[in-house]
Structure 1
Amino acid sequence: MATADKNKNEQNLSVESRLKSLYELQTLLSQIDRIRTVRGELPLEVADLEDVIKGLTTRIENFRKEIEEIRKKSVAEKEKINDSQAKIAKYKEQIDNVRNNREFDLLSKEIEFQTLEIELSEKHINEYARMIDAKNNEIAETENRLADQKHVLADKKAELDEIVSETKQDEERLREQAKALEPKIDARTLAAFKRIRKNARNGLGIVYIQRDACGGCFNRIPPQKQMEIKMHKKIIVCEYCGRIMIDPDLAGVDLSAPTESK
Protein backbone atom coordinates (compact mmCIF):
# COMPACT_ATOMS: atom_id res chain seq x y z
CA MET A 1 0.00 0.00 0.00
CA ALA A 2 2.82 2.38 0.92
CA THR A 3 4.59 1.60 -2.38
CA ALA A 4 1.41 2.24 -4.34
CA ASP A 5 0.93 5.61 -2.60
CA LYS A 6 4.54 6.50 -3.34
CA ASN A 7 4.16 5.65 -7.04
CA LYS A 8 0.92 7.64 -7.19
CA ASN A 9 2.59 10.68 -5.61
CA GLU A 10 5.45 10.45 -8.09
CA GLN A 11 3.00 10.30 -10.99
CA ASN A 12 1.31 13.45 -9.69
CA LEU A 13 4.63 15.32 -9.83
CA SER A 14 4.86 17.22 -13.09
CA VAL A 15 8.08 17.22 -15.07
CA GLU A 16 8.30 20.97 -14.50
CA SER A 17 8.04 20.67 -10.71
CA ARG A 18 10.53 17.79 -10.67
CA LEU A 19 13.05 19.75 -12.73
CA LYS A 20 12.62 22.83 -10.57
CA SER A 21 13.12 20.80 -7.38
CA LEU A 22 16.06 19.01 -8.96
CA TYR A 23 17.78 22.30 -9.79
CA GLU A 24 17.16 23.57 -6.25
CA LEU A 25 18.68 20.33 -4.96
CA GLN A 26 21.70 20.84 -7.22
CA THR A 27 22.13 24.38 -5.87
CA LEU A 28 22.15 23.11 -2.28
CA LEU A 29 24.55 20.27 -3.07
CA SER A 30 26.88 22.67 -4.89
CA GLN A 31 27.02 24.82 -1.75
CA ILE A 32 27.93 21.70 0.27
CA ASP A 33 30.63 20.92 -2.32
CA ARG A 34 32.05 24.42 -1.86
CA ILE A 35 32.20 23.87 1.91
CA ARG A 36 34.14 20.64 1.31
CA THR A 37 36.44 22.48 -1.07
CA VAL A 38 37.24 24.95 1.72
CA ARG A 39 38.35 21.97 3.82
CA GLY A 40 40.47 20.89 0.88
CA GLU A 41 42.72 17.89 1.35
CA LEU A 42 42.97 18.34 5.11
CA PRO A 43 40.87 15.26 6.06
CA LEU A 44 43.01 13.08 3.79
CA GLU A 45 46.21 14.66 5.11
CA VAL A 46 45.10 14.00 8.69
CA ALA A 47 44.28 10.37 7.85
CA ASP A 48 47.65 9.90 6.10
CA LEU A 49 49.53 11.40 9.06
CA GLU A 50 47.68 9.12 11.48
CA ASP A 51 48.72 6.12 9.36
CA VAL A 52 52.34 7.32 9.31
CA ILE A 53 52.33 7.78 13.10
CA LYS A 54 50.83 4.34 13.58
CA GLY A 55 53.54 2.85 11.35
CA LEU A 56 56.35 4.65 13.19
CA THR A 57 54.96 3.58 16.57
CA THR A 58 54.80 -0.03 15.41
CA ARG A 59 58.37 0.23 14.09
CA ILE A 60 59.63 1.46 17.48
CA GLU A 61 57.79 -1.37 19.25
CA ASN A 62 59.38 -3.90 16.88
CA PHE A 63 62.85 -2.45 17.49
CA ARG A 64 62.34 -2.77 21.25
CA LYS A 65 61.18 -6.38 20.88
CA GLU A 66 64.27 -7.12 18.78
CA ILE A 67 66.50 -5.54 21.43
CA GLU A 68 64.85 -7.67 24.11
CA GLU A 69 65.54 -10.82 22.06
CA ILE A 70 69.17 -9.79 21.51
CA ARG A 71 69.61 -9.15 25.24
CA LYS A 72 68.28 -12.64 25.98
CA LYS A 73 70.89 -14.06 23.59
CA SER A 74 73.58 -12.00 25.29
CA VAL A 75 72.52 -13.32 28.70
CA ALA A 76 72.67 -16.88 27.32
CA GLU A 77 76.22 -16.27 26.08
CA LYS A 78 77.25 -14.94 29.53
CA GLU A 79 75.84 -18.09 31.09
CA LYS A 80 77.94 -20.13 28.64
CA ILE A 81 81.02 -18.17 29.73
CA ASN A 82 80.27 -18.85 33.41
CA ASP A 83 79.78 -22.53 32.62
CA SER A 84 83.05 -22.69 30.65
CA GLN A 85 84.95 -20.88 33.42
CA ALA A 86 83.63 -23.35 35.97
CA LYS A 87 84.75 -26.26 33.78
CA ILE A 88 88.21 -24.72 33.30
CA ALA A 89 88.60 -24.31 37.07
CA LYS A 90 87.60 -27.93 37.57
CA TYR A 91 89.97 -29.16 34.85
CA LYS A 92 92.85 -27.16 36.35
CA GLU A 93 92.27 -28.84 39.71
CA GLN A 94 92.23 -32.23 38.01
CA ILE A 95 95.35 -31.53 35.98
CA ASP A 96 97.39 -31.24 39.18
CA ASN A 97 96.53 -34.83 40.01
CA VAL A 98 97.02 -36.52 36.66
CA ARG A 99 98.70 -39.93 36.61
CA ASN A 100 99.98 -39.93 33.05
CA ASN A 101 100.57 -37.83 29.94
CA ARG A 102 97.39 -39.04 28.28
CA GLU A 103 95.18 -37.61 31.06
CA PHE A 104 97.25 -34.39 31.01
CA ASP A 105 96.71 -33.98 27.25
CA LEU A 106 92.96 -34.65 27.52
CA LEU A 107 92.51 -32.09 30.26
CA SER A 108 94.68 -29.57 28.44
CA LYS A 109 92.55 -29.96 25.31
CA GLU A 110 89.36 -29.52 27.36
CA ILE A 111 90.77 -26.33 28.90
CA GLU A 112 91.75 -25.08 25.43
CA PHE A 113 88.30 -25.92 24.04
CA GLN A 114 86.48 -24.13 26.86
CA THR A 115 88.81 -21.12 26.44
CA LEU A 116 87.83 -20.97 22.74
CA GLU A 117 84.16 -21.25 23.75
CA ILE A 118 84.61 -18.26 26.06
CA GLU A 119 86.24 -16.25 23.29
CA LEU A 120 83.43 -17.14 20.89
CA SER A 121 80.76 -16.14 23.45
CA GLU A 122 82.57 -12.87 24.11
CA LYS A 123 82.63 -12.22 20.37
CA HIS A 124 78.87 -12.85 20.20
CA ILE A 125 78.28 -10.57 23.20
CA ASN A 126 80.22 -7.76 21.50
CA GLU A 127 78.22 -8.27 18.29
CA TYR A 128 74.98 -8.18 20.26
CA ALA A 129 76.09 -4.97 21.99
CA ARG A 130 76.75 -3.34 18.60
CA MET A 131 73.37 -4.55 17.34
CA ILE A 132 71.65 -3.10 20.41
CA ASP A 133 73.44 0.23 19.91
CA ALA A 134 72.34 0.29 16.25
CA LYS A 135 68.75 -0.53 17.20
CA ASN A 136 68.77 2.19 19.88
CA ASN A 137 70.02 4.69 17.32
CA GLU A 138 67.21 3.69 14.96
CA ILE A 139 64.73 4.05 17.81
CA ALA A 140 66.05 7.55 18.56
CA GLU A 141 65.80 8.58 14.90
CA THR A 142 62.32 7.09 14.59
CA GLU A 143 61.19 8.78 17.81
CA ASN A 144 62.38 12.13 16.42
CA ARG A 145 60.41 11.53 13.21
CA LEU A 146 57.42 10.45 15.30
CA ALA A 147 57.58 13.63 17.39
CA ASP A 148 57.74 15.75 14.21
CA GLN A 149 54.80 13.92 12.64
CA LYS A 150 52.74 14.26 15.84
CA HIS A 151 53.44 17.99 15.85
CA VAL A 152 52.34 18.31 12.21
CA LEU A 153 49.24 16.19 12.92
CA ALA A 154 48.27 18.41 15.87
CA ASP A 155 48.52 21.49 13.65
CA LYS A 156 46.52 19.87 10.83
CA LYS A 157 43.83 18.65 13.24
CA ALA A 158 43.53 22.08 14.83
CA GLU A 159 43.20 23.64 11.38
CA LEU A 160 40.61 21.06 10.31
CA ASP A 161 38.63 21.38 13.56
CA GLU A 162 38.51 25.15 13.11
CA ILE A 163 37.22 24.86 9.54
CA VAL A 164 34.70 22.16 10.49
CA SER A 165 33.39 24.20 13.43
CA GLU A 166 32.94 27.19 11.14
CA THR A 167 31.08 25.24 8.45
CA LYS A 168 29.37 22.43 10.36
CA GLN A 169 26.12 24.27 11.04
CA ASP A 170 25.89 25.52 7.46
CA GLU A 171 26.51 22.05 6.07
CA GLU A 172 23.93 20.44 8.38
CA ARG A 173 21.34 23.07 7.42
CA LEU A 174 22.00 22.56 3.71
CA ARG A 175 21.79 18.77 4.09
CA GLU A 176 18.43 19.04 5.84
CA GLN A 177 17.12 21.30 3.07
CA ALA A 178 18.43 18.90 0.43
CA LYS A 179 16.82 15.93 2.17
CA ALA A 180 13.49 17.78 2.32
CA LEU A 181 13.63 18.33 -1.46
CA GLU A 182 14.16 14.70 -2.43
CA PRO A 183 10.48 13.62 -1.97
CA LYS A 184 9.56 16.25 -4.59
CA ILE A 185 11.54 14.29 -7.19
CA ASP A 186 10.62 10.82 -8.46
CA ALA A 187 12.99 8.04 -7.43
CA ARG A 188 14.12 7.22 -10.98
CA THR A 189 15.05 10.80 -11.85
CA LEU A 190 16.71 11.31 -8.47
CA ALA A 191 18.80 8.15 -8.88
CA ALA A 192 19.84 9.21 -12.38
CA PHE A 193 20.76 12.68 -11.11
CA LYS A 194 22.92 11.27 -8.32
CA ARG A 195 24.67 8.94 -10.76
CA ILE A 196 25.36 11.78 -13.22
CA ARG A 197 26.54 14.06 -10.43
CA LYS A 198 28.90 11.40 -9.08
CA ASN A 199 30.58 11.00 -12.47
CA ALA A 200 30.69 14.73 -13.29
CA ARG A 201 34.02 16.44 -12.60
CA ASN A 202 32.36 19.55 -11.14
CA GLY A 203 29.53 17.69 -9.41
CA LEU A 204 26.83 19.20 -11.67
CA GLY A 205 24.05 16.75 -12.50
CA ILE A 206 21.63 19.34 -13.91
CA VAL A 207 22.53 22.53 -15.80
CA TYR A 208 20.67 25.31 -17.60
CA ILE A 209 21.17 26.42 -21.20
CA GLN A 210 23.76 29.15 -21.63
CA ARG A 211 24.21 30.91 -25.00
CA ASP A 212 22.45 28.06 -26.84
CA ALA A 213 24.82 25.53 -25.28
CA CYS A 214 24.86 22.99 -22.45
CA GLY A 215 25.88 24.67 -19.21
CA GLY A 216 27.98 21.64 -18.29
CA CYS A 217 30.07 20.74 -21.35
CA PHE A 218 29.27 23.89 -23.43
CA ASN A 219 28.44 21.93 -26.57
CA ARG A 220 25.86 23.62 -28.78
CA ILE A 221 22.23 22.53 -28.43
CA PRO A 222 20.04 22.49 -31.58
CA PRO A 223 17.08 24.95 -31.57
CA GLN A 224 14.56 22.08 -31.69
CA LYS A 225 16.11 20.49 -28.60
CA GLN A 226 16.08 23.86 -26.82
CA MET A 227 12.38 24.19 -27.58
CA GLU A 228 11.70 20.74 -26.11
CA ILE A 229 13.62 21.69 -22.97
CA LYS A 230 11.57 24.88 -22.55
CA MET A 231 8.30 22.92 -22.88
CA HIS A 232 9.04 20.94 -19.70
CA LYS A 233 7.27 17.87 -21.06
CA LYS A 234 10.03 15.37 -20.38
CA ILE A 235 13.46 14.99 -18.80
CA ILE A 236 16.10 15.74 -21.44
CA VAL A 237 19.80 15.04 -21.07
CA CYS A 238 22.76 16.43 -23.01
CA GLU A 239 23.81 14.01 -25.72
CA TYR A 240 27.47 14.90 -25.10
CA CYS A 241 27.94 14.91 -21.31
CA GLY A 242 24.73 13.20 -20.12
CA ARG A 243 23.73 16.00 -17.73
CA ILE A 244 20.05 16.81 -17.25
CA MET A 245 19.21 20.12 -18.93
CA ILE A 246 16.80 22.85 -17.86
CA ASP A 247 15.92 26.23 -19.33
CA PRO A 248 17.18 29.37 -17.50
CA ASP A 249 13.69 30.65 -16.69
CA LEU A 250 12.74 27.50 -14.79
CA ALA A 251 16.10 27.64 -13.01
CA GLY A 252 15.31 31.21 -11.96
CA VAL A 253 18.30 32.61 -13.83
CA ASP A 254 18.06 35.93 -15.69
CA LEU A 255 20.63 35.75 -18.46
CA SER A 256 19.71 39.22 -19.68
CA ALA A 257 20.93 40.83 -16.44
CA PRO A 258 24.26 42.68 -16.88
CA THR A 259 27.31 41.05 -15.39
CA GLU A 260 28.92 43.06 -12.58
CA SER A 261 32.54 43.94 -13.17
CA LYS A 262 34.90 42.60 -10.51
Structure 2
Amino acid sequence: MLTHGAVASRYLGEDVVYEAFADWTKARVRPEVKATLGVLAKLTTCPLEFNANDIQPLLKLGIPAAGIEQAVVIGGYIFNYQNRIADAMGADVLKDKVNRAGKMLNLTGRSMLKDRKVSGEAVAYSGVIPAEIEAMVDSVRNGTGDSEIALRRAVFRRGMAFLGFPESDTAVPQTITHFVDTIAQHAPDITDQDVQDLLNAGWSEAEVFEVAVAASVAAGYGRLKIAWAALADLSKEIC
Protein backbone atom coordinates (compact mmCIF):
# COMPACT_ATOMS: atom_id res chain seq x y z
CA MET A 1 0.00 0.00 0.00
CA LEU A 2 2.87 2.37 0.74
CA THR A 3 4.26 1.80 -2.73
CA HIS A 4 0.96 2.50 -4.44
CA GLY A 5 0.41 5.50 -2.24
CA ALA A 6 3.69 6.86 -3.52
CA VAL A 7 2.33 6.84 -7.07
CA ALA A 8 -0.76 8.81 -6.12
CA SER A 9 1.19 11.15 -3.82
CA ARG A 10 3.20 12.37 -6.79
CA TYR A 11 0.00 13.88 -8.18
CA LEU A 12 -2.45 14.39 -5.30
CA GLY A 13 -0.31 14.98 -2.21
CA GLU A 14 0.11 12.72 0.81
CA ASP A 15 -2.79 14.16 2.82
CA VAL A 16 -5.31 13.44 0.10
CA VAL A 17 -3.88 9.96 -0.49
CA TYR A 18 -4.20 9.01 3.18
CA GLU A 19 -7.77 10.30 3.14
CA ALA A 20 -8.48 8.02 0.19
CA PHE A 21 -6.92 5.06 2.00
CA ALA A 22 -9.08 5.73 5.05
CA ASP A 23 -12.31 6.24 3.09
CA TRP A 24 -12.18 7.00 -0.61
CA THR A 25 -15.81 8.15 -0.57
CA LYS A 26 -14.83 11.13 1.62
CA ALA A 27 -11.48 12.00 0.03
CA ARG A 28 -11.00 15.55 -1.27
CA VAL A 29 -10.57 14.63 -4.91
CA ARG A 30 -12.26 15.64 -8.15
CA PRO A 31 -15.54 13.87 -8.99
CA GLU A 32 -13.82 12.06 -11.86
CA VAL A 33 -11.17 10.65 -9.53
CA LYS A 34 -13.70 9.63 -6.87
CA ALA A 35 -15.87 7.89 -9.45
CA THR A 36 -12.84 6.04 -10.82
CA LEU A 37 -11.86 4.92 -7.31
CA GLY A 38 -15.37 3.55 -6.89
CA VAL A 39 -15.11 1.57 -10.11
CA LEU A 40 -11.75 0.12 -9.11
CA ALA A 41 -13.02 -0.69 -5.62
CA LYS A 42 -15.90 -2.71 -7.05
CA LEU A 43 -13.66 -4.43 -9.61
CA THR A 44 -11.32 -5.44 -6.78
CA THR A 45 -13.86 -6.51 -4.16
CA CYS A 46 -16.86 -7.66 -6.24
CA PRO A 47 -15.46 -8.67 -9.64
CA LEU A 48 -18.22 -11.16 -10.41
CA GLU A 49 -20.80 -8.36 -10.15
CA PHE A 50 -18.83 -5.93 -12.31
CA ASN A 51 -20.38 -4.95 -15.65
CA ALA A 52 -20.84 -2.15 -18.18
CA ASN A 53 -23.24 -0.29 -15.87
CA ASP A 54 -20.35 0.34 -13.48
CA ILE A 55 -18.33 2.07 -16.18
CA GLN A 56 -21.11 4.16 -17.71
CA PRO A 57 -20.90 6.94 -15.04
CA LEU A 58 -17.23 7.50 -15.89
CA LEU A 59 -18.07 8.21 -19.51
CA LYS A 60 -20.81 10.60 -18.41
CA LEU A 61 -18.20 12.48 -16.38
CA GLY A 62 -16.15 12.93 -19.54
CA ILE A 63 -13.51 10.26 -18.90
CA PRO A 64 -12.59 8.73 -22.28
CA ALA A 65 -12.49 4.97 -22.77
CA ALA A 66 -8.70 5.09 -23.11
CA GLY A 67 -8.48 6.76 -19.71
CA ILE A 68 -10.66 4.05 -18.19
CA GLU A 69 -8.38 1.44 -19.72
CA GLN A 70 -5.39 3.08 -18.05
CA ALA A 71 -7.12 3.11 -14.68
CA VAL A 72 -8.06 -0.55 -15.00
CA VAL A 73 -4.56 -1.62 -16.02
CA ILE A 74 -2.90 0.20 -13.14
CA GLY A 75 -5.56 -0.11 -10.42
CA GLY A 76 -7.26 -3.31 -11.48
CA TYR A 77 -4.36 -5.36 -12.79
CA ILE A 78 -0.99 -4.10 -11.52
CA PHE A 79 -2.05 -3.18 -7.99
CA ASN A 80 -4.15 -6.33 -7.56
CA TYR A 81 -1.31 -8.71 -8.34
CA GLN A 82 1.43 -6.72 -6.61
CA ASN A 83 -0.53 -6.38 -3.38
CA ARG A 84 -1.14 -10.12 -3.33
CA ILE A 85 2.51 -10.98 -3.85
CA ALA A 86 3.50 -8.60 -1.06
CA ASP A 87 0.85 -10.03 1.28
CA ALA A 88 1.74 -13.63 0.49
CA MET A 89 5.49 -13.25 0.85
CA GLY A 90 5.52 -10.65 3.63
CA ALA A 91 7.28 -8.02 1.52
CA ASP A 92 7.56 -4.65 3.26
CA VAL A 93 8.54 -1.45 1.48
CA LEU A 94 11.02 0.56 3.51
CA LYS A 95 9.90 4.16 3.91
CA ASP A 96 13.06 5.66 2.40
CA LYS A 97 12.43 3.62 -0.75
CA VAL A 98 8.76 4.45 -1.16
CA ASN A 99 9.14 7.35 -3.57
CA ARG A 100 11.54 5.40 -5.77
CA ALA A 101 9.14 2.43 -5.85
CA GLY A 102 6.24 4.74 -6.62
CA LYS A 103 8.10 6.25 -9.53
CA MET A 104 8.88 2.77 -10.86
CA LEU A 105 5.24 1.69 -10.65
CA ASN A 106 4.13 4.87 -12.36
CA LEU A 107 6.59 4.34 -15.21
CA THR A 108 5.54 0.68 -15.50
CA GLY A 109 1.91 1.63 -15.99
CA ARG A 110 2.78 4.36 -18.46
CA SER A 111 5.05 2.00 -20.41
CA MET A 112 2.30 -0.60 -20.73
CA LEU A 113 -0.02 2.06 -22.09
CA LYS A 114 2.43 4.14 -24.12
CA ASP A 115 0.40 3.80 -27.33
CA ARG A 116 -2.90 4.80 -25.73
CA LYS A 117 -3.35 8.54 -26.04
CA VAL A 118 -5.85 10.09 -23.67
CA SER A 119 -7.54 13.38 -24.50
CA GLY A 120 -10.79 15.09 -23.62
CA GLU A 121 -12.41 13.36 -26.57
CA ALA A 122 -14.48 10.20 -26.31
CA VAL A 123 -11.63 7.91 -27.38
CA ALA A 124 -12.95 4.54 -28.52
CA TYR A 125 -12.31 1.41 -26.52
CA SER A 126 -9.24 -0.28 -28.01
CA GLY A 127 -10.40 -3.84 -27.36
CA VAL A 128 -6.79 -4.97 -26.96
CA ILE A 129 -5.04 -5.91 -23.74
CA PRO A 130 -1.52 -4.39 -23.82
CA ALA A 131 1.02 -6.76 -25.34
CA GLU A 132 3.32 -6.28 -22.34
CA ILE A 133 0.67 -7.72 -20.05
CA GLU A 134 0.01 -10.70 -22.30
CA ALA A 135 3.77 -11.34 -22.46
CA MET A 136 4.03 -11.16 -18.67
CA VAL A 137 1.14 -13.59 -18.18
CA ASP A 138 2.67 -15.99 -20.70
CA SER A 139 6.00 -15.81 -18.88
CA VAL A 140 4.35 -16.57 -15.54
CA ARG A 141 2.50 -19.54 -16.98
CA ASN A 142 5.06 -20.92 -19.41
CA GLY A 143 8.45 -19.41 -18.62
CA THR A 144 11.48 -21.12 -17.17
CA GLY A 145 11.39 -21.40 -13.38
CA ASP A 146 12.09 -23.60 -10.37
CA SER A 147 8.49 -24.84 -10.35
CA GLU A 148 6.97 -27.02 -13.04
CA ILE A 149 5.14 -25.29 -15.85
CA ALA A 150 2.14 -27.58 -15.36
CA LEU A 151 1.92 -26.48 -11.73
CA ARG A 152 2.03 -22.78 -12.55
CA ARG A 153 -0.59 -23.22 -15.26
CA ALA A 154 -2.87 -25.08 -12.86
CA VAL A 155 -2.39 -22.47 -10.14
CA PHE A 156 -3.09 -19.68 -12.61
CA ARG A 157 -6.27 -21.34 -13.88
CA ARG A 158 -7.41 -22.05 -10.30
CA GLY A 159 -6.98 -18.37 -9.48
CA MET A 160 -8.94 -17.40 -12.59
CA ALA A 161 -11.70 -19.86 -11.67
CA PHE A 162 -12.59 -17.74 -8.63
CA LEU A 163 -13.45 -15.01 -11.15
CA GLY A 164 -15.72 -17.17 -13.25
CA PHE A 165 -13.20 -18.51 -15.77
CA PRO A 166 -12.80 -22.25 -16.54
CA GLU A 167 -10.55 -24.16 -14.16
CA SER A 168 -7.68 -26.34 -15.33
CA ASP A 169 -8.12 -30.09 -15.71
CA THR A 170 -4.83 -30.43 -13.83
CA ALA A 171 -5.43 -30.36 -10.09
CA VAL A 172 -3.33 -28.18 -7.80
CA PRO A 173 -1.55 -30.36 -5.19
CA GLN A 174 -3.54 -30.50 -1.96
CA THR A 175 -0.63 -29.21 0.12
CA ILE A 176 -0.71 -25.89 -1.67
CA THR A 177 -4.42 -25.30 -2.34
CA HIS A 178 -5.03 -23.31 0.87
CA PHE A 179 -2.15 -20.99 -0.01
CA VAL A 180 -3.37 -20.48 -3.57
CA ASP A 181 -7.02 -20.02 -2.60
CA THR A 182 -6.22 -17.51 0.14
CA ILE A 183 -4.11 -15.42 -2.24
CA ALA A 184 -6.97 -15.45 -4.72
CA GLN A 185 -9.68 -14.52 -2.22
CA HIS A 186 -8.05 -12.47 0.55
CA ALA A 187 -4.26 -12.41 0.47
CA PRO A 188 -3.81 -10.42 3.74
CA ASP A 189 -4.91 -13.59 5.55
CA ILE A 190 -1.69 -15.37 4.52
CA THR A 191 0.56 -15.89 7.55
CA ASP A 192 4.22 -16.71 8.03
CA GLN A 193 3.05 -20.10 9.27
CA ASP A 194 1.27 -20.78 5.97
CA VAL A 195 4.55 -20.27 4.15
CA GLN A 196 6.47 -22.32 6.69
CA ASP A 197 3.98 -25.17 6.33
CA LEU A 198 4.72 -25.27 2.60
CA LEU A 199 8.46 -25.35 3.23
CA ASN A 200 7.95 -28.14 5.78
CA ALA A 201 5.92 -30.04 3.18
CA GLY A 202 8.92 -30.04 0.86
CA TRP A 203 8.29 -27.02 -1.36
CA SER A 204 11.33 -24.83 -1.97
CA GLU A 205 11.28 -21.08 -1.32
CA ALA A 206 11.56 -20.46 -5.07
CA GLU A 207 8.60 -22.74 -5.79
CA VAL A 208 6.47 -21.04 -3.14
CA PHE A 209 7.32 -17.64 -4.58
CA GLU A 210 6.50 -18.70 -8.14
CA VAL A 211 3.19 -20.19 -7.01
CA ALA A 212 2.39 -16.93 -5.21
CA VAL A 213 3.19 -14.97 -8.37
CA ALA A 214 1.03 -17.24 -10.54
CA ALA A 215 -1.96 -16.96 -8.20
CA SER A 216 -1.50 -13.20 -7.81
CA VAL A 217 -1.15 -12.47 -11.51
CA ALA A 218 -4.25 -14.58 -12.16
CA ALA A 219 -6.21 -12.37 -9.74
CA GLY A 220 -5.11 -9.23 -11.56
CA TYR A 221 -5.45 -10.62 -15.06
CA GLY A 222 -8.91 -12.04 -14.40
CA ARG A 223 -10.12 -8.64 -13.22
CA LEU A 224 -8.58 -7.03 -16.26
CA LYS A 225 -10.46 -9.44 -18.54
CA ILE A 226 -13.71 -8.73 -16.68
CA ALA A 227 -13.25 -4.98 -17.07
CA TRP A 228 -12.32 -5.37 -20.74
CA ALA A 229 -15.50 -7.38 -21.34
CA ALA A 230 -17.54 -4.64 -19.63
CA LEU A 231 -15.88 -2.00 -21.81
CA ALA A 232 -16.62 -4.10 -24.90
CA ASP A 233 -20.30 -4.40 -23.92
CA LEU A 234 -20.47 -0.64 -23.35
CA SER A 235 -18.80 0.01 -26.68
CA LYS A 236 -21.50 -2.06 -28.43
CA GLU A 237 -24.23 -0.09 -26.68
CA ILE A 238 -22.68 3.22 -27.79
CA CYS A 239 -22.39 2.00 -31.37
Report the structure number with the largest CA radius of gyration. Answer: 1
Under a length normalisation based on structure 1, what TM-score does the superposition of the two structures give? 0.23
Under a length normalisation based on structure 2, what TM-score does the superposition of the two structures give? 0.25
